[in-house]
Chain A
Amino acid sequence: MLNIIHILNLLLPVLYLITVSAYYVDFIRKTAKLQNLKRYSLLITVALHLIYLLLRTIEFDHLPMTNKFEVFSLLALNIALCYVILEIWSDVRETGLFILTIPVIFQFLSSAFIKDLVDVPTVLNNKLLGIHVISALLGYSGFAVSAVYGVLYYILYKELKLNKFGLVFNRLPSLEHLEKLSYYSVICGFIFLTFAMIIGIVWLPQAFPNFSYLDPKLISTTVFWIIFGVGIMAKAVGNWYGKKVIKFYLIGFVVAMLSMFFANVLVKSFHVFY
């Protein structure tokens, strides 16, 4: 099994690269043949990635989240999975290039530096922590995908305002589509993050004696959770449209990234595992 894991570890970044290349070529040239081919390539890659992580879990007897590079791989899969669901749901196939570039980077880093760890700290072997981390990663993936759609929205918006009818105009879906895709990604991300937070609140005080509600990571997460929550409510209840609501999601994502950076790198917290 270890051999299969190692082969898949080498194969996955290549497969992601092939998939993104197919999306790139199709974005530039729009060929009928690649329309389905690129989707099959993506589905095969995601399926193999899922198998790879399952095999790792079985082989090493812990969820693949005990070090940064396992988390990178998990994050790559989550983003790719998130995109697969959105592509199948909306049948918008032209945005894959922009979203799937993120998994390519994460999987390359993961495949290059990942180690086969069998013995890990007890706390990282906890099942509730596993669900907490996977939910949180799904949440971040949703926000990341939403942010990419938000940026694409802004680019197309600007092109339309300036009456520029180039590649972006010809290939991207409509503004309304991009807004919807960004909105649904945020909702997905928000649901998973809420779930992760609930599990965290239940489990963290039991697992860590030095647990504190004033922990910087908890506070920063709560801040951007509120921002996204307000953004979702503004659209759902307040009938906010277009640029205004997209701006909200983008701010939320930037705050999320900055707060994660500060909480994980600059400030000492019980909540940092790696």
Chain B
Amino acid sequence: MNLIGISINHRTAPIELREALYLSRDEITELVAYLKENVLSCGFILSTCNRTELFGIHKYGKIDFNLILDALINFKKVDGISAKNFEKYFACSAVNHIFQVATGIDSLIIGDSQILGQAKEAFQLSEDLNFMDSILRRVYDTSLKVGKRAIKETKIGEGAVTISFAAVQVVEKIFSSLEEKSALVIGAGETGQLAALHLRDLGIGKLAVSNRTIERARNVAEKLDAEIIPFENLKDDLHRFDIIFSATSAEGLLIQFDDIKNVMKKRKGNPVCLMDIALPRDIDPTVRKLDNVFYNDIDSLKVVVDQNLKKRQEEIPLVKNIIMEEMINFYGWYNTLDVVPTIKTMREFFESIANDELEKIKNKVGTEEYEKINDMTRRLLGRLLHNPTMKLREIAEKGVNSEEVARQSLLVKSLFNLNGNDSYENEINEEINRQL
């Protein structure tokens, strides 16, 4: 298989280069047009802010990484980027790498759940641009299967691996039913928005947002169907919320010990969860001394994230086993590709003999008799060819041993002189060399 590919990722390049090389949908479309015209017969491009992958099969079967590397670098001119920022893959290693990417074990955040969807989009775009062939389509189907199996059969995607999600995980250890709880998110920046989104996804009963700039709070509130708490009145409303996330960029402490003490008085000791995911911190950490106040900051939440990442790391061997199983299945299918033309030629050969013979007797017997002989001949052919056909398929599907597949195919060709070449030995050697 002449599949070749290049990959720029967190192992090979710093974030600035990876981000700079990111290709939008339109850019991919443009680059694919060039590649189709000049380099590849088929392929796909997966590009995210963390990685760009370009895989394909050369028009004339050439194994030359520089051709696709130059095409990419020349298309997206990024300062400081060079060939050493790319990993190169060929044939089996290329398929293995694509599967690893699909399962998320090759991601910066191990088990990243978004990558499978991104891979799906990349293949889909390639299909839309008429840049796929049957082999790549099979790679795509199998990579989706591998990705789904990894999620279902292992714990590779379990546990929070971002600070805001870890905070939500801690909240879930305090309250059982979030639909009966209310949450306030202070700060409408990226972190605050992410926290609010997680809470909304988990079905929080009431969600409110507060931000120094009211417009930003309004934007988030509209998106997530949340209430807006004016920043000036913040402290008067704190007691109404069971969960408070703070993610502002304020320099000093926003919420003092006494503020929470008052909150607890108003709440009659009803538990409150404070998630200070700001840097520097927004909430006085001494509030954790108060009964039924659960306070967490970035440092403590990072412990949860690290633990979950470690657990995911432990799942990698299981995911690799799944990849290996699917690689075997994939190559089982791939090896049948060599057999299919042989079976087809063999059947055509027998059909042509049968047709010749039928033609000879056509005018010597009546129509009714001819039909009977014709039917019998077809049945005879079917029965005679059933076993060799099935045997060839079986060898191909079972085997990862492509030499055996080649030998059997060529034996059949030689026995029936299917391509008119008597030099069986020579052909075997040529075929094996080609496979290798």
What residues make up the interface of A, taking CB atoms closer than 8 Å to B?
Answer: 156, 160-161, 163, 165, 169, 172-177, 180, 239-244
Q: Is the CB of B307 within 8 A of A165?
A: yes
Q: Is the CB of B269 within 8 A of A175?
A: no
- Chain A interface: which of B60-68, B174-182, B215-223, B333-341? B174-182
Q: Which residues of A contact B173 (CB under 8 A)?
A: 156, 160, 169, 172, 174-175
B303 at the interface (CB under 8 A from A): yes
Within 257-316 of B, Cβ neighbours of A (below 8 Å) are at 268-271, 288, 291-292, 294, 296, 300, 303-304, 307
B144 at the interface (CB under 8 A from A): no
13 CB-based A-B contacts, threshold 8 Å: A160-B170, A160-B174, A161-B288, A161-B294, A174-B176, A176-B174, A176-B177, A239-B270, A241-B268, A241-B269, A241-B292, A242-B269, A242-B271
Instruction: Please give the distance in Å from A178's CB to the nearest CB on chain B.
Output: 9
Measured in the bound complex, the distance between the Cα atoms of B301 and A160 in whole Å is 11
Q: Is the CB of B296 within 8 A of A173?
A: no
* Interface-central residue, A161, A163, A169, by most chain B CB under 10 Å: A163
Measured in the bound complex, the distance between the Cα atoms of B174 and A239 in whole Å is 18
Q: Is the CB of A163 within 8 A of B292?
A: no
Q: Quick one: CB contact mask for B159-180 with A, threshold 8 Å, 1 for yes?
A: 0000000000010111111000
Total residues of chain B contacting the partner, CB 8 A:
20
Measured in the bound complex, the distance between the Cα atoms of B300 and A223 in whole Å is 44
Q: Is the CB of A163 within 8 A of B300?
A: yes
In the complex, residue of chain A having the shortest beta-carbon distance to the beta carbon of B270? A241
In the complex, residue of chain A having the shortest beta-carbon distance to the beta carbon of B296? A163
Q: Which residues of A contact B307 (CB under 8 A)?
A: 165
Q: Is the CB of B271 within 8 A of A163?
A: no
What residues make up the interface of B, taking CB atoms closer than 8 Å to A?
Answer: 170, 172-177, 268-271, 288, 291-292, 294, 296, 300, 303-304, 307
Q: Is the CB of B269 within 8 A of A177?
A: no
Measured in the bound complex, the distance between the Cα atoms of B303 and A175 in whole Å is 20
Chain A interface, >50% SS class: helix
Measured in the bound complex, the distance between the Cα atoms of B174 and A160 in whole Å is 8
Q: Which residues of A contact B270 (CB under 8 A)?
A: 239, 241-242
* Interface-central residue, B177, B269, B288, by most chain A CB under 10 Å: B269
Q: Is the CB of A243 within 8 A of B292?
A: yes
Q: Which residues of B contact A175 (CB under 8 A)?
A: 173-175, 271
Measured in the bound complex, the distance between the Cα atoms of B173 and A156 in whole Å is 9
Q: Is the CB of A173 within 8 A of B269?
A: no
Instruction: Please give the distance in Å from B184's CB to the nearest CB on chain A.
Output: 19
Measured in the bound complex, the distance between the Cα atoms of B292 and A17 in whole Å is 37
Q: Which residues of B contact A160 (CB under 8 A)?
A: 170, 173-174, 294
In the complex, residue of chain B having the shortest beta-carbon distance to the beta carbon of A179? B176
In the complex, residue of chain B having the shortest beta-carbon distance to the beta carbon of A244? B269
Q: Is the CB of B292 within 8 A of A174?
A: no
Q: Which residues of A contact B304 (CB under 8 A)?
A: 165
Q: Which residues of A contact B271 (CB under 8 A)?
A: 175, 241-242
Measured in the bound complex, the distance between the Cα atoms of B271 and A176 in whole Å is 10
Q: Which residues of B contact A180 (CB under 8 A)?
A: 176
Measured in the bound complex, the distance between the Cα atoms of B307 and A244 in whole Å is 32
Q: Which residues of B contact A176 (CB under 8 A)?
A: 174-177
Complex A-B, nearest 4 residue pairs according to Cβ-Cβ distance, in ascending order: A163-B300, A176-B176, A177-B176, A174-B176
Q: Is the CB of B176 within 8 A of A173?
A: yes
Instruction: Please give the distance in Å from A262's CB to the nearest CB on chain B.
Output: 33
Q: Is the CB of A174 within 8 A of B291?
A: no
Q: Is the CB of B175 within 8 A of A165?
A: no
Measured in the bound complex, the distance between the Cα atoms of B174 and A172 in whole Å is 11
Measured in the bound complex, the distance between the Cα atoms of B303 and A160 in whole Å is 13
Q: Can you name 8 extra interface pairs (CB under 8 A) apart from A160-B170, A160-B173, A240-B269?
A: A160-B174, A165-B170, A165-B304, A172-B173, A175-B271, A239-B268, A241-B271, A243-B291
